């Protein structure tokens, strides 16, 4: 058979097939395309049913996407029944880091009121941003504004009088007086917040040596230091009351920073000459101010969750940690009494953390 015959046969077959398809296409394909005959369930709806997401799965997904450090901080903040006391431990640790950085990194003499003004401004800005981002009222709910004003006023008085005390007394004596602030807070909480006061929770007071008296001006400076400690203790009580009433603690930080910024600015202008800081000193001041904000944040959160006396006991960790660092770096003379004092503070703080929440639950 020649090629012409073959081609002719193929054309006949193709034309026959085409004719079959063309003749039956309208009857066979059209019904398959109608909307009424579409299946109600397909493979996509079976594989991915519409339902509410599982909260546990979302929590696990968030945990896998966050860093271990963020998870640790969030656990301290609200993931444990020890959150209040652990927040105070972290606050004391941050304050100790600030002391170390001041001791090691200070390269320029900056007036104290200028440092206080910078720190209060940074604290005010960060707390304002926190409140705006979380949707909380900047000046707090109406029912706690009197507490916020009282907390800001007493905190400002404590800060200004402490600066005066540092300027008039040796630094060691001024720091010893400041260590009485937790004791003042525990005593004030007994009268302001009606909290129980236990001698065991304020036993660290005996470890501090009273500063010597050398003249009337020295007595006046010591009295001002005690006023600073008393005002700081009362400020802690108002902070705790305001934080519990408003169910958030950042508002107490903002109110304190706002009032203290204005007071520090007035004192800086009227009593001291302004010193333009170098770039390094300015960066160090800003960094320390940011650390101060987080230290205040965890301190306020700890006071919101735990009683004042237990929280005040944890504050002595800052002293013990700084003393250990000083003795380890040979900046502080090593002595048996200091080592025993640090051990007692650590034991007392550990006992407070371990037994504190259980006592509150009872």
* The 3-state secondary structure of 28-64, one letter per residue: HCHHHHCCCCCCCCCHHHHHCCCCCCCHHHHHHHHHH
260-310 pLDDT, tens per residue?
Answer: 999 999 998 888 678 888 899 899 999 999 999 999 999 999 888 888 878
DSSP label at 193? S
User: Half-sphere exposure of residue 96, counting CA atoms within 13 Å on the CB side?
Assistant: 19
**Element at 308 (helix H, strand E):** helix 308-314
Task: For 276, list phi and psi in degrees, rounded to 5.
Answer: -75, 115
What pLDDT is stored for residue 161 in this prediction? 93
Of residues 170 and 60, the one with the higher pLDDT is: 170
* Contact partners, residue 32, CB within 8 Å, separation at least 6: none
Q: How far apart are the first and last CA of the chain?
A: 108
What pLDDT is stored for residue 10 in this prediction? 47
Cα 111 from Cα 277, distance rounded (Å)? 10
Tally of CB atoms within 10 A around 135: 6
Q: Angle of helix 181-192 relative to helix 216-246, nearest 10 degrees? A: 50
Q: Where are the alpha helices (DSSP H) in 38-180?
A: 43-47, 55-65, 68-78, 83-105, 112-134, 145-168, 171-178
Cα 265 from Cα 116, distance rounded (Å)? 9
44-75 pLDDT, tens per residue?
Answer: 444 444 444 444 544 554 455 567 777 777 87
Question: For the whole model, what pTM was predicted?
Answer: 0.74
Distances (CA, A) of 285 to 123, 272, 273, 277: 12, 18, 18, 9
Rg (CA), the chain: 34
What is the b/e burial string over 56-90, where b = at least 16 CB atoms within 10 angstroms of the residue's CB?
A: eeeeeeeeeeeeeeeeebeebbeeeebbbbbbbbb
Left (φ > 0), alpha (ψ -120 to 50) or beta: where does 100 sit?
A: alpha
Of residues 104 and 213, the one with the higher pLDDT is: 104
DSSP label at 211? P
Tally of CB atoms within 10 A around 3: 7
188-226 pLDDT, tens per residue?
Answer: 888 888 777 665 555 454 444 445 545 567 788 888 989
Token look-up 């990194």 returns 105
- CA of residue 96 relative to chain centroid, distance: 15
Which SS3 state, helix, strand or coil, does residue 51 take? coil
Token look-up 């965890």 returns 298
Q: What pLDDT band is residue 107 in, cutting at 50, 70 and 90?
A: confident
111-162 pLDDT, tens per residue?
Answer: 889 999 999 999 999 999 999 998 888 888 888 889 999 999 999 999 999 9
């Amino acid at each position: 058979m020649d090629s012409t015959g073959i081609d002719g046969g193929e054309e006949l077959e193709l034309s026959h097939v085409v004719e079959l398809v063309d003749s039956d296409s309208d009857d066979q394909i059209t019904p398959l395309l109608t909307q009424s005959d579409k299946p109600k369930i397909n493979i996509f709806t079976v594989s991915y049913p519409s339902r509410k997401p599982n909260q546990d799965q979302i929590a696990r997904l968030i945990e896998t996407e966050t860093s271990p450090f963020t998870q640790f901080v969030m656990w301290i903040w609200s993931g444990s029944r020890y959150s209040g006391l652990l927040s105070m431990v972290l606050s004391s640790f941050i304050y100790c880091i600030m002391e170390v950085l001041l001791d090691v990194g200070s390269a320029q003499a900056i007036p104290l009121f200028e440092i206080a003004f910078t720190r209060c401004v940074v604290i005010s800005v960060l707390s304002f941003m926190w409140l705006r981002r979380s949707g909380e009222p900047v000046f707090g709910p109406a029912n706690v504004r009197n507490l916020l004003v009282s907390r800001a006023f007493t905190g400002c008085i404590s800060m200004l009088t402490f600066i005066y005390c540092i300027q008039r007394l040796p630094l060691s004596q001024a720091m010893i007086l400041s260590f009485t602030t937790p004791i003042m807070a525990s005593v004030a909480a007994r009268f302001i917040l009606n909290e129980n006061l236990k001698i065991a929770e304020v036993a660290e007071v005996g470890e501090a040596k009273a500063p010597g008296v050398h003249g009337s001006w020295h007595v006046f400076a010591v009295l001002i230091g005690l006023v600073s400690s008393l005002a700081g203790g009362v400020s802690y009580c108002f902070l705790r009351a305001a934080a519990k009433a408003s169910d958030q603690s950042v508002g107490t930080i903002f109110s304190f920073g706002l009032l203290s910024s204005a007071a520090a600015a007035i004192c800086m202008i009227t009593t001291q000459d302004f010193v333009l800081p170098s770039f390094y000193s300015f960066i160090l001041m800003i960094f320390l101010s940011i650390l101060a904000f987080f230290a205040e944040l965890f301190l306020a959160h700890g006071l919101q969750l735990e009683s004042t006396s237990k929280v005040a006991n944890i504050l002595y960790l800052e002293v013990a940690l700084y003393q250990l660092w000083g003795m380890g770096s040979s900046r502080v003379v090593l002595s048996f009494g200091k080592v025993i004092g640090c051990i007692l503070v650590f034991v007392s703080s550990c006992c407070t953390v371990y037994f504190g929440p259980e006592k509150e639950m009872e």
